[in-house]
Amino acid sequence: MKLLAKTAFICNILFLVCILVQRTHDFIGQQDLTNITVILGWIIAPFLNFILHIVVIVRWLSKKQFHLSPWLLISNFLILLIQLYIYFFSTL
């Protein structure tokens, strides 16, 4: 569970980088690094983040303990809200 949360956090950071690149210019420079950033940030991050929060909700409802840092869980949740807004409500 910790690995899933940490991997989701890294992909979420790359999602924020993708938003920055989309709204400004491609400051990454190397095409290979840009491609990896887009794949992990724009495509993988929302799915991984959604799966993480489904697992957290299921474990919470079944009263099983899970040991995650509060800042990691909160930051992943806030970025999930941003992802939902970008994908479903944003017109840009």
Q: 11 with 41: CB under 8 angstroms?
A: yes
Domain total of the chain? 1
Which pair of structure tokens corresponds to residue 16?
Answer: 């924020």
- Calculated CA dihedral for residues 82, 84, 87, 89, nearest 10 degrees: -90
* Range of the structural domain that residue 11 is part of: 2-88
Q: 12 with 40: CB under 8 angstroms?
A: no
Per-residue confidence (pLDDT) for residue 29, from 0 to 100:
80
Question: 55-76: per-residue pLDDT in tens?
Answer: 999 999 998 887 889 999 999 9
Report the 10 Å Cβ neighbour count for 23: 8
CA distance 79 to 81: 5
Residue 4 vs residue 66, higher pLDDT? 4
pTM as predicted: 0.86
CA distance 72 to 19: 20
Question: 9-29: per-residue pLDDT in tens?
Answer: 999 999 999 999 888 887 888
